[in-house]
Amino acid sequence: MKAVITMHQCPMDIFQYTIEPGDSLEKIAGQFNTSVNLIASGNPKISLDNLSIGQVICIPSWFAHHYNIQSISNNTEYSRQEIDIMNEMRRLWEEHITWTRMTIISMVENLADVDLVTKRLLRNPSDFATLLKALYGDEVASKFEELFTNHLVIAAQLVKASMSDDKTAALDAERRWYANADEIAAFLASINPYWSEKIWKEMMYEHLALTKSEVVNRINKYYAADILVYDKIQTQALKMADIMSEGILRQFPNKF
């Protein structure tokens, strides 16, 4: 493989992937839970027989192939229930990152609404659990709520430690944060065969790294950088929502 930088724009809600050393179509397909044929169909103008390091390709997932979000409302092949589950999942992930951001801002700026905002944020795991309960039952829903609540509680501890410049406490919180992410990834993979533990771990790690950057930028008053990071957080959260919906629709095809 030779190194080359190729500009390539993928459609909205499709993974844009940059070729790295050692990549092959088979490896990429496995990483993103898709197929070589779907990757080929998503890149009709690119020769996939001669990949180059730095080349950007589009990665259509099973979800992107079968459930085109941009046109789904006009497609009578999809049931109202299928559309609803996708919209609800996106709403929950949007609320997750929105109320996380508002809590970070309220904590860092010592605003009077911090307790109310934090309380609203901590409702998000329960809202996720309500959705999952209808599919997986009480025990699974409760476990996810516990893990996701811990995810948020540890994040708050990291913000407080960072604000007080307590490096020991911050490192400890960050270690527990990533361990919690490992637990979430393993748990999701254990309840749905279409949710890859490896992919969920990578996505959760990216989510944590972006959120930490959001915290650091806010504390240091790097407001322009803070806004740019939040844009990335939003894009990444919507991808997590779509992958979660994909797994549910594949696991329970007769429910929707």
**How do the pLDDT tens digits run along the chain, 256 residues long?**
433 334 446 765 566 788 888 888 888 887 776 778 888 888 888 888 888 888 888 887 655 444 444 433 344 466 788 889 999 999 999 999 999 999 999 999 999 999 999 999 999 999 999 999 999 999 999 999 999 999 999 999 999 999 999 999 999 999 999 999 999 999 999 999 999 998 899 999 999 999 999 999 999 999 999 999 999 999 999 999 999 998 999 999 888 7
Q: What percent of the chain has pLDDT over 70?
A: 87
How far is the C-alpha of 58 from the C-alpha of 43, rounded, in Å? 6
Q: What is the pLDDT of residue 3?
A: 36
Residue with tokens 């919209």: 87
Angle at 79 (CA atoms; ends 73, 83), nearest 5 degrees: 50
Ramachandran region of residue 141, left (φ > 0), alpha (ψ -120 to 50) or beta? alpha
**E strands present in the chain:** 15-18, 56-59
Q: What is the pLDDT of residue 5?
A: 36
CA 66 vs CA 39, 63, 96, 121, 242: distances in Å: 14, 5, 26, 33, 12
Q: What is the pLDDT of residue 241?
A: 95
Which CATH class for the 15-66 domain? Answer: alpha beta
Structure-derived torsion over alpha carbons of residues 100, 102, 108, 110, reported in degrees to the nearest 10: -130
Q: What is the pLDDT of residue 88?
A: 96
pLDDT digits (tens, 9 = 90+) for 48-67: 888 888 888 888 765 544 44
Q: What is the pLDDT of residue 73?
A: 39
Task: List Cβ neighbours of 234 (8 Å cut-off, separation of 6 or more).
Answer: 94, 97
Q: Which long-range contacts (CB under 8 A, 24 or more apart) does 119-125 make?
A: 121/152, 122/149, 122/152, 124/92, 124/95, 124/96, 124/99, 124/148, 124/152, 125/149, 125/151, 125/152
Q: How many Cα atoms are found within 13 Å in the side-chain-facing hemisphere of 44?
A: 1
Q: What is the pLDDT of residue 25?
A: 87
DSSP secondary structure code for residue 2 in this structure: -
Residue ranges of domains in the chain: 15-66, 72-251
How far is the C-alpha of 159 from the C-alpha of 103, rounded, in Å? 10
How far is the C-alpha of 24 from the C-alpha of 19, rounded, in Å? 9
